[in-house]
């Protein structure tokens, strides 16, 4: 069985930048340990926007420029990047919450046999839940889990709500 870890949007703007929170900062060391101890394929998503972000549908609803490509905020958290430097991983840029490109890349692995997918990262209530549900829809027989100890939401309340939503959709919550 192929084991896959999806590290979702562990970028500076979500950790301690434009949209950072103390909860996001609080999971960094857990994420680093997870990456270091993981044996399998790793995919890393990168929320990716451009200078016209405020003119996009998302930018009009969330008027906080963040993860603008090639800015410091778009880069991965330094500790996370250091942990990933020791591993072979595939980075996937995404322009919205869920990534069909991520599904396609994982699908190339799934074609070779059974897969087990674990997700962790930011934000539980936006990008983690979106990608978890996309993956569940495309790989209904795969074991899919989310490590809550390596996730943080916009708020603790919405983090818990997202975890419950994923539980209801038969995604295992661990940690």
Residues 37-88 pLDDT 10s: 999 999 999 999 999 999 999 999 999 999 999 999 999 999 999 999 999 9
The HSE-up count of residue 130 (CA atoms within 13 Å, CB side) is 18
Q: What tokens appear for 19 in the block?
A: 């949209």
What's the whole-number mean pLDDT along residues 14-42? Answer: 98
CATH architecture of the domain covering 2-174:
3-Layer(aba) Sandwich (3.40)
Does a cis peptide bond (omega within 30 degrees of 0) precede residue 123? yes
Q: Given a cut of 80, is residue 112 above it in pLDDT? A: no
Average pLDDT over residues 101-121: 90
Band (113; pLDDT cuts 50, 70, 90):
confident
Compute the Cα dihedral for 136, 137, 138, 142 and give only its sign. positive
Distance CA 75, CA 58 (A): 20
pLDDT of res. 111: 67
For residues 60 and 36, is the Cβ–Cβ distance under 8 A?
A: no
Tokens of 162: 């997202």
Question: pTM of the full predicted structure?
Answer: 0.97
Q: How many CA atoms lie within 13 A of 2 on its CB side?
A: 16
Distance of CA 51 to the CA centre of its chain: 22
Residue 70, Cβ density class (10 Å: 0-12 exposed, 13-18 middle, ≥19 buried): exposed
* pLDDT tens digit sequence for 117-169: 999 999 999 999 999 999 999 999 999 999 999 999 999 999 999 999 999 99
How high is the pLDDT of residue 109? 79
């Amino acid at each position: 069985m192929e084991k896959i870890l999806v590290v979702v949007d562990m970028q500076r703007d979500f950790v301690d930048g434009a949209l950072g929170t103390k909860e996001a900062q609080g999971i960094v060391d857990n994420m680093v340990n997870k990456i270091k101890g993981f044996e399998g394929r790793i995919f890393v998503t990168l929320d990716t926007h451009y200078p016209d972000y405020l003119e996009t549908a998302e930018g009009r609803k969330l008027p906080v420029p963040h993860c603008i490509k090639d800015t410091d905020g778009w880069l991965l958290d330094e500790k996370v990047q250091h942990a990933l430097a020791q591993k072979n991983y595939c980075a996937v840029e995404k322009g919205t919450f869920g990534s069909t490109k991520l599904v396609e890349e994982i699908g190339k692995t799934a074609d070779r046999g059974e897969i087990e997918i674990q997700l962790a990262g930011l934000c539980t209530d936006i990008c983690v839940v979106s990608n978890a549900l996309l993956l569940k829809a495309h790989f209904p027989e795969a074991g899919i889990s989310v490590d809550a100890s390596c996730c943080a939401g916009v708020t603790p309340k919405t983090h818990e709500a997202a975890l419950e939503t994923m539980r209801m959709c038969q995604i295992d919550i661990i940690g």
